Amino acid sequence: MIKTLKALLRAHRTSKTVADLDKRTSALKKTSEKASTQLKTLGDKLSDARQSLSSIHAQSHILKRETESLKVLCGHVAAQHSRQLPATASLKEAEFQVFSQWGEDGIIQFLLAHVPVPNTVFVEFGVESYAEANTRFLLLHDYWSGLIIDGSEQHMQGVRESDLSWRHTLHAKSAWISADNINELIRGAGISGDIGILSVDIDGVDYWVWQAIDVVQPRIVIAEYNSLFGPEAKVTPPYDPTFERAKAHSSHVFYGSSIAALNHLAEQKGYQLIGTNSAGNNVFFVRKDLAAPFPKRTVAEVYQRARFREARLPSGELAFPTFAEAQAMIADCLVHDLATGRECPLKEASGWKIVS
C-alpha cells in the first residue's frame, strides 16, 4: 500500500511538472513567435533603411557633382577677369578661390595668361585629401593632368577611388616626401622635363625638397612660406627627412621656410619672384626665360604677414596669439641660417626680429 501511495505521489508530481513544462513551452512558443514577428519587422525596416541610405548616398553624390560643376562654372567667370589683367597688375587683383585654400586659383589663372605652357602638367605635394589644393581647378576647369602626393595613404586612396581618377589623368601617390626620394616619386609617375606648375607645401623641410628637385623644370613654382620668419632672415629648419611640424614644436608653427630663403633658392634655380597671396603663406615664381612680362619685385615689396592664426598651446588648443606672440613662441627653435651657413636659434639668425 505504502509503495502504491509513493508511486501515485511521484506520478502526481511528474504530471504537475509536465503540465508546468507544457505551460512554459506554450509561453515560450508564443514569445518565440512574437520575437520572430518582431525580428521580421526589424529586418524589413533595416532593409528599407539600407535602401533609403543607398538612395541618399546616390543623391548626395549627384549633389556633390552638381555643386562642384557650379563652383567650376563660377570659377570660369572669375578666371576670365584674372586672365584679362595686365602682367603689371598685383596678384591681389587676380585672386579668387574655387578649390584653393585662399586666392591661389585666381593667381594661377593670371600667371597662365602671360606664361605659355605647352605641356599642361602639374606636380603638387602636401595635398591632404585634395579637396583643397592649388591644382584641382586646373584639373577640372582646364583639363590639365598631373601628380599629387601626400603622406596619408587613406587620403590618396580616397582620391584614387573618386571620379577624379577616371575622369582625368591624375596620379595620386602616398609617400613621406624627402629630398632623397622626391625625384624618383615624380619620375615614377612618368613626369619629367618642362612642365607647367610645381606646388610645394609639406609643412616641413620644403626648402630642402625643392632644392633637390631636378627631374622637372616647372615654368611656375608655388611655394609655401612661413611669415613668422619675417621678410629678411634666410632661414629654414635644418634638413630632417622625418620632420613633422606637430612634433617639431608644440605651437605647430615652426615649419617651412622664410620667404627670403625661398627667393634665394629660386634665384639659384633660375626663377623670378612675382608676388605673394593676400593670406600671407604662398609665394609665386616664374622661370626667368618666361618672366619678361612681369615687373621685377623684391621680397620687401611682396612680403605679407599671415592673416590667419594657427599657433597652438601645449594642450593642443588654438592660442589665437598676436603675430609677435606667435614669433616669440618659436624664437628658440633651431634653424639653418643661409646667410651664415650655420645652425642657430631663430632669435640669433641674421635679419630676424620680433615685430611690434
| Residue 303 belongs to domain with CATH number | 3.40.50.150
Three-state DSSP class for residue 174: strand
Beta-sheet pairing, 334-337 with 235-236: antiparallel
Containing structural domain, residue 247: 79-348
* Residue 2 in domain: no
* Residue 14 in domain: no
pTM of the predicted structure, to 2 decimals: 0.85
The per-residue pLDDT for range 323-335, each reduced to its tens digit, is 999 999 999 999 9
Q: What is the CA radius of gyration of the chain?
A: 32
pLDDT for the residue 2: 61
* Residue 229 in domain: yes
Give the chain's domain count: 1
| Three cell numbers written together for 252 | 605647430
Residue pair 266/221 in contact (Cβ under 8 Å)? The answer is: yes
Residues of the chain with pLDDT below 50 are none
Three-state DSSP class for residue 216: strand
* Residue 151 in domain: yes
* Residue 40 in domain: no
* Residue 200 in domain: yes
Residue 180's nearest CA partner among 214, 133, 146 is: 214
pLDDT for the residue 25: 72
pLDDT for the residue 4: 59
Residue pair 123/221 in contact (Cβ under 8 Å)? The answer is: no
Q: CA 311, 337, 227, 348 torsion: positive or negative?
A: positive
* Residue 70 in domain: no
pLDDT for the residue 342: 97
| Three cell numbers written together for 251 | 605651437
Residue 173's nearest CA partner among 160, 162, 191 is: 160
Q: What are the contacts of 154-159 at 24+ separation with CB within 8 A?
A: 155/127, 155/128, 155/129, 155/130, 158/129, 159/129, 159/130
* Residue 58 in domain: no
Q: How far apart (Å, rounded) are the C-alpha atoms in residues 212 and 197?
A: 16
pLDDT for the residue 26: 77
Residue 257's nearest CA partner among 322, 331, 203, 212 is: 203
Q: How far apart (Å, rounded) are the C-alpha atoms in residues 345 and 352?
A: 10
Residue 179 has a CB neighbour count (10 Å cut-off) of: 16
